[in-house]
Chain A
């Protein structure tokens, strides 16, 4: 599956907000068709990496290339290659799903006919076809998340960046998205998957990248990461992010209400 040339190439990426350095020299290559699980504790720098990768932040140090484009120079070309669904993304719920997808497709300069046929197919696939002309005001969180996912795919992007894509989805929808990710990877799409849900990251990712305090502390397949007696990604994560002290904190909470 891997080709020689990476589709995403990050070299010595640094980013500071004021005096606080949130990314401290990230180096990462991602190859076409790979599913990358990008994980890390809150505040580790995941969202900042994603924002730089998707061309939202141009004020950084280092090199970031997507396809053959430099993110800082050819921002628009990079944006065209990427389908991005941010975490807690909001949408305009007075629009209908069809109108929203039409809006998204037009922003990517897609042809009207193509938008309509893709939107229809996507909504059918996500089980939202019957409500395609209803305003989204009455939609559940899961239904909205499906529309957002569809909006990230409407322009058939090469790279799909998903930030906590499963939030609000029920068990069946989670299966659907997991399956969708696998099929997209088979199609040659590259998936950059940010999440806190370790069990799912473990199942869908070819490679896992763990970032802590703005630095990559682990990068490899799940088997490569299990160096000691850890059985799951959760245990690897806890070990590398000092999360095992959290168990002690839980005990404190119980003590507090006794």
Chain B
């Protein structure tokens, strides 16, 4: 795909030459970069941050994924009966998704530090180099914009004719500009208010947030579209739709399909005004040096005045309270800090975890399409089905356990091997305690509070029982499946332990089912909860006395 767009761009060769660019180098560098892109899938839509795939046909895969996103956009446009509102929201969604893509995938182009070592030492002029970056982004944006818009554009062509199709393409082009402006504004504000080093971090956080949002979107949007309130939505009556500049371009499409009226005219006027306002705003505020600063940011890898680190106080306090001095405490703090700071790890962790609160919300509010909220609530109370959510949290914890043994910098785990650790179970216990507190007990506490609020104090023993079972199975997994030091395996390492993890997860569901059967027998639940909590504690004591780690890796 990229190569086709590249050929299109090459049509502008005379213009590039007049700008003083070395077109031969430009083509060369760009085609190499596009080949590299071909072999790496998009960070956002292609995968949810798990293992990155690479291969010959990655760009086709990415194209397909963008088409799926395009279908979502089409769904938004078509599900609302009022055409103007539907298409308006569809185009706004399109613009939003492009902006997400821009921030997510463009940051990696803008801050590509590899260029410093590969291209800058070669005789390539600054202007050519800068043009490569801009064109590289343009090629990618055009690809995405094309793929995402395709379903809606094709539909409109068949439904409303060629003229409408062209009008929609123009509307989508304007929406593209809105996205570009939005992203520029984001960078502008970031550059103005944050030091260079912080911007990268801020972008990383936004990327994490966006990937969660997309994930939530996949789950929520189809259900949301069934809500009655959306069926009656019209642009004329909803003031908040007028505030979104990304809705305005729909005026062009509506002018062709529905003719002119006061609403269409207003939208047309706003959408024409927008580019002028945006250009004025950008020129006035961006002033000079925007690209220079962005460029500097790409270079600002070293010599950054990082903020002094005062985080980790909580980690230290908890470590002091919950672990024994020595290896257990060291491993606890190690896992606590790494999971809190490594952006890459967070990108992998959060999608695993986000399912838990999402399912929590779904089970409470989204089940049963016909029932009212009150009926659903009564149904949940009666069946005790909400208890299943308490078990889901532990299943996501199993995923986290697998993640914390792997790392990009797995060789840094050499410290564990050279240190005089009597029982490596202590290290594993420390690591387990850190993830259990951070990613399990915190969720369970939250669920407990919400559930007590919703269903009364009687759920306390249910939460306790589910938690103790979760802890026991976590330790079982640690004993049989997680026999490695924290972050000591390469990311791509495969082991045959996923089967066991799967089995344990399945078993967890069985336990949840059994729990639902007995949840009304309060005393039985209390008794089981207390006994199992004790067992969990004893298992921790046992774990610490074991030697679990296989030392074979040292020889590598």
Contacts and interface: CB of A to CB of B under 8 A. Distances in A.
Interface of A: 17, 51, 54-58, 75-80, 82, 84, 86, 88-96, 99, 102-104, 106-109, 111-112, 133-135, 137-138, 140, 151
Nearest to B554: A56
Nearest to B304: A138
Given A57-B555, A90-B411, A106-B330, A79 B312 contact: no
A103 B554 CA distance: 20
Which among B197, B414, B419 has the greatest number of chain A C-beta atoms within 10 A? B419
Which among A91, A94, A99 has the greatest number of chain B C-beta atoms within 10 A? A94
Interface in B258-310: 301-304, 306, 308-310
A79 B415 contact: no
**8 nearest A-B residue pairs (beta carbon):** A106-B330, A107-B419, A79-B420, A90-B412, A94-B341, A76-B420, A80-B420, A90-B411
Contacts of B334: 92, 95, 103
Interface residues of B, number: 37
Contact of B415 (A58, A80, A99, A103): A103
A64 B251 CA distance: 84
B418 interface: yes
A138 B301 contact: yes
A138 B303 contact: yes
Interface in B338-381: 338, 341-342
A106 B426 CA distance: 12
B554 A51 contact: yes
B306 A137 contact: yes
Contacts of B421: 76, 107
B53 interface: no
A96 B330 contact: no
B325 interface: yes
Given A76-B422, A86-B414, A134 B306 contact: yes
Nearest to B411: A90
Contacts of B326: 106-107, 109
Contacts of A96: 309
B327 interface: yes
Contact of A107 (B342, B412, B415): B415
A135 B306 contact: yes
Interface string B389-432: 00000000000000000000101101111111110000000000
B400 to A, nearest CB: 17
Contacts of B308: 133-134
A55 B419 CA distance: 10
B420 A92 contact: no
Contacts of B310: 133
Nearest to B329: A106
B337 interface: yes
B333 A84 contact: no
Contacts of A76: 420-422
Contacts of B325: 106, 109, 111-112
A134 B307 CA distance: 7
Contacts of B415: 103-104, 107, 151
Nearest to A94: B341
B306 A107 contact: no
Which among A92, A106, A133, A135 has the greatest number of chain B C-beta atoms within 10 A? A106
A8 to B, nearest CB: 16
